[in-house]
């Protein structure tokens, strides 16, 4: 999945045309992230560990090319000279690696619906992190939303007969990643951030490629021309939605961004159910309905807060 938490500082009063372009850019990013499961499925027989390794390496190459073309390597050097920022980018890299690897495993093992659940839960976990870590005070509606989400997870556990660990790991890693990116703030732009995060992960990618190569064998260049081209596009597939989202997030209100972020898990859910044919039991439907209800409450609270002009307790996302 994608790097949506990497929002830049928004303009205080963008022009209407700028807001429209920003909303369209953010929507395009959400749609691209939403259809990622189809892209990953097309990459069979590439396994999850090889795929994530190539994604890391090619994302770094893609960003390095962008930095070279725009002559902005100095921004990366400036971050490297600041120990605190450098450490935060390392933390962000570790978290996004855990998120990517979990998401790809879920997708390639027929658990796209559970992955979508993770991204539905993520905003609620983000709010909870705001309370625990940032000492934010929540109003009544967010607390009710979190309580409903807890009931939803319990219902889904009863339906699965097991804890939906993949969903919970995705939700936790993405929420924590967002917290780290919020701490970094506008000090690191989107391209420089992804460059450094993928740079720190390059040793992990190399190790994974070596292990896969000496066990099952690498698939790059051995599964046909179309497969090779698709796999080589992994860097662009990773970076382009991020850049679109970063451009959009600077031009539209946070409440609009919050609403658009439901597009990705909705598309993932639809693909899992109606394209990939994953089963949806009654317990799953009830659990998802409860999650959607909790998100509706959270969105309502965000909209009401924005209208009143008070600080939004979810704004740290």
19-49 pLDDT, tens digit each = 888 889 989 999 999 999 999 999 999 999 9
- Of 156-160, 162-166, 304-308, 312-316, the least confident: 312-316
- How many other C-beta atoms are found inside a 10 Å radius of the C-beta of residue 15? 10
pLDDT at 309: 62
- pLDDT band of 16, cuts 50, 70, 90: low
Q: The pTM is what?
A: 0.88
- What whole-number distance in Å separates Cα of residue 179 and Cα of residue 248? 19
Q: What is the CA radius of gyration of the chain?
A: 19
N- to C-terminal Cα separation, the chain: 16
295-309 mean pLDDT: 82
- pLDDT band of 186, cuts 50, 70, 90: confident
């Amino acid at each position: 999945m994608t790097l949506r938490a990497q929002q830049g500082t928004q303009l205080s009063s963008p022009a209407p045309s700028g807001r429209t372009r920003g909303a369209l850019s953010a929507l395009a990013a959400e749609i691209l992230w939403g259809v990622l499961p189809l892209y990953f499925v097309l990459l069979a027989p590439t396994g999850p560990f090889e795929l994530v390794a190539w994604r890391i390496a090619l994302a770094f190459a893609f960003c390095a090319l962008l930095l070279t073309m725009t002559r902005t390597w100095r921004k990366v050097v400036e971050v490297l000279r600041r120990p605190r920022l450098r450490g935060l980018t390392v933390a962000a890299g570790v978290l996004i690696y855990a998120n990517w690897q979990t998401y790809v495993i879920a997708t390639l093992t027929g658990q796209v619906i559970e992955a979508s659940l993770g991204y539905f839960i993520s905003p609620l976990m983000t709010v909870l992190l705001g309370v625990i870590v940032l000492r934010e005070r929540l109003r009544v509606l967010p607390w009710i939303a979190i309580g409903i989400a807890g009931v939803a997870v319990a219902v889904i556990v009863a339906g699965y007969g097991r804890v939906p660990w993949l969903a919970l790991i995705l939700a936790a890693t993405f929420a924590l990643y967002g917290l780290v990116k919020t701490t970094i703030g506008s000090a690191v732009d989107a391209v420089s951030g992804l460059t450094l995060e993928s740079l720190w992960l390059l040793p992990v990618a190399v190790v994974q490629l070596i292990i896969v190569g000496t066990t099952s064998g690498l698939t790059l260049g051995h599964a046909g021309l179309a497969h090779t081209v698709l796999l080589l596009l992994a860097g662009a597939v990773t970076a382009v939605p991020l850049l679109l989202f970063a451009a959009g997030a600077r031009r539209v209100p946070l409440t609009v961004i919050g609403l658009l972020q439901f597009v990705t898990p909705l598309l993932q859910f639809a693909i899992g159910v109606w394209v990939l044919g994953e089963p949806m039991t009654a317990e799953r439907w009830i659990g998802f309905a409860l999650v959607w209800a909790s998100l509706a409450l959270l969105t309502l609270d965000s909209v009401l807060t924005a209208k009143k002009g008070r600080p939004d307790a979810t704004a740290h996302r």
